Amino acid sequence: MADRGLPVAVPSTALFTDQYELTMLQAALRGGTAERQCVFEVFARRLPEGRRYGVVAGTGRVLDAVENFSFDEKVLDFLRQRGIVDGPTLHWLSSYRFRGDIHGYPEGEVYFPGSPVMRVQGTFAECVLLETVILSILNHDSAVAAAASRMAVAAGGRPLVEMGARRTHELAAVAASRAAYVGGFTSTSDLAAGFRYDIPTVGTSAHSFTLLHDSERGAFTAQVDSLGSDTTLLVDTYDVTEAVRAAVDVAGPGLGAVRIDSGDLLLLAHRVRHQLDELGATQTKIVVTSDLDEYAIASLAAAPVDAYGVGTQLVTGSGHPTASMVYKLVARADSDAPGAPLRPVAKKSMGGKTSPGGAKWAARQLDEDGVAMAEVVGTGEVPEELADRLLQVELVRGGKVVAREGLDAVRGRHKEALAGLPMSAMQLSRGEPVLPTEYV
């Protein structure tokens, strides 16, 4: 799936950052430490309360952001006029390109507390500048993908339509649609997402179209005349029973689908299915919307519902709009001499913000049936029995992206990752992470 770009103007990702990244750079350049080799890691200390697994999403967007992270004259002029950094720092930024290496969990994989989701290695100067944009992307996209994954599990294979564009920022809507597709949604209502990422798009009409006409029958007739009998007719503007009768009368028994957007969805779905069957529209599908989340979807598992449309709860992470990932320096050299050894470093603080130092590898330990039983995270040599279970892959080598892939591959990986977890991972009830994280 080729990225066609976005049909709106977006500036270089260089300013998608916090000011202190640049002031740290200036101080490091002046202090002579900017060129020391360093390793930064992205991880979450914990999952959102009650969640059993996290979903890695946004990796492809991170790769795009890293490639597009450069300081043109307009950006440099802005920094100069604001007095944000000094002249030598501006000169250094004028030729900035990331030339280091990035490894990470492949997109669509699941993660757990402490999982080293991404590792960025290079000089302090080039790595520190990427902190904000990397966290911005991974925290948002992983939160949406995790919500989408839970909803897909609850849907039990029934199609899910992402329709949250009107509930978030216009650019966040495109990213949310992409993340939802990674997590298991099948289509989107957002055309910018369809344009940029080739995600299937759907949509027919809203209540305003029915209200525009002198009668509901007139609205249905106009829609069927324009879009064909395989369209989806919205049947809850007035009386649902009368609307279903009119819909089948206008479109015939080959009517594609009806959509219910309000009321007791469980009760209405059963009534509408019975009515459609009596009218001979036995193949007409039922689509439900109306502020759904994974719990509402699960409650409709026994209902004759064929597809779900989800908006607000999806794009806000179903109550957890961030994955709470952090970007921490875990190793650095004592000098900028070529080949200077890296030594582990870590913050020591109270309040649960501690983490082990050192560049880490991660592997998933399996039981005798091939089911995951632990997330193993370590430094140094990888135990022989885990050598073929390593999770991190090479993403960027010497500043060049080496692992760009299409969304269908990412979606497939997520399905495989879920299939390899214990069955309790699919429970929607609150619980601990389904895999413990073991440090070695």
CATH value at residue 28: 3.20.140.10
- Residue 2 included in any domain: no
Residue 16 is assigned to a structural domain of this protein: no
Answer whether residue 141 is part of any domain: no
Q: Is residue 145 part of a domain?
A: no
What percent of the chain stands above pLDDT 70? Answer: 97
pLDDT tier for residue 354 given thresholds of 50, 70 and 90: confident
Q: What is the pLDDT of residue 433?
A: 97
Distance CA 202, CA 336 (A): 54
Domain containing residue 240: CATH number:
3.20.20.70
β-pair type (187-188, 160-162): parallel
57, 185: one domain = no
Q: Which one, of 261, 220, 257, 227, lies nearest residue 242 by Cα? A: 220
- Residue-wise pLDDT tens digits, 35-47: 999 999 999 999 9
Note the pLDDT of residue 207.
97
Q: Give yes or no for residue 17 having a pLDDT over 60.
A: yes
Per the CB < 8 A criterion, the answer to whether 123 and 110 are in contact is no
Compute the average pLDDT of residues 399-418: 97
Q: What is the mean pLDDT of residues 172-180?
A: 97
Q: Return the pLDDT at 348.
A: 82
Paired residues of 307 in beta bridges: 287
pLDDT band at 9 (very low <50, low <70, confident <90, very high): low
**Dihedrals φ, ψ of 261, to 5°?**
-120, 10
In a domain, 138, yes or no: no
| Residue 146 · residue 54 · CB < 8 Å | yes
388, part of any domain: yes
Does 166 share its domain with 310? Answer: yes
Range of the domain at 30: 21-129+324-435
How far, in Å, are 61, 141, 415, 433 from residue 149 at the CA level? 19, 12, 9, 15
User: Are 306 and 165 in the same domain?
Assistant: yes
71-128 pLDDT, tens digit each: 999 999 999 999 999 999 999 999 999 999 999 999 999 999 999 999 999 999 999 9
Integer Cα distance of 405 and 352 in angstroms: 36
pLDDT at 300 exceeding the cut of 80: yes
Instruction: Based on the fold, state whether residues 228 and 310 are members of the same structural domain.
Output: yes
Domain for residue 6, yes or no? no
In this structure, are 111 and 169 located in the same domain? Answer: no
* One domain, residues 193 and 290: yes
Q: How many domains does the chain have?
A: 2
Q: Please, what's the b/e burial string for 198-207 (b: 16 or more CB within 10 A of its CB; e: otherwise)? A: bbebbebbee
> What average pLDDT does the structure give for the chain?
95
Indicate if 107 and 206 belong to the same structural domain. Answer: no
Both 215 and 335 in a single domain?
Answer: no
Does the pLDDT at position 393 exceed 80?
yes
- Tell whether 306 and 162 lie within a shared domain: yes
Say which range, 59-63, 288-292, 348-352, has the weakest mean pLDDT: 348-352
Residue 147 pLDDT > 50, yes or no?
yes
Residue-level pLDDT at 1:
44
* Paired residues of 362 in beta bridges: 377
Contact 419, 150 (CB under 8 A): no
The pLDDT tens digits for 362-390 are 999 999 999 999 999 999 999 999 999 99
Instruction: Tell me whether residue 264 is exposed, middle or buried, using C-beta atoms within 10 angstroms of its C-beta: 0 to 12, 13 to 18, 19 or more.
Output: exposed
- 250 and 208: one domain? yes
Per-residue pLDDT, averaged over 420-425, amounts to: 97
Q: Is the pLDDT of residue 225 over 50?
A: yes
Decide which of 293, 316, 339 is a domain's last residue: 316
**Together in a domain, 170 and 300:** yes
Q: What is the mean pLDDT of residues 413-425?
A: 97
Task: Encode pLDDT of 246-267 as tens digits.
Answer: 999 999 999 999 999 999 999 9
Q: 352 pLDDT band (50/70/90 cuts)?
A: low
* 159 and 294 assigned to the same domain: yes
Residue where one domain finishes, among candidates 283, 316, 349 = 316
Residue finishing a domain among 316, 335, 352 = 316
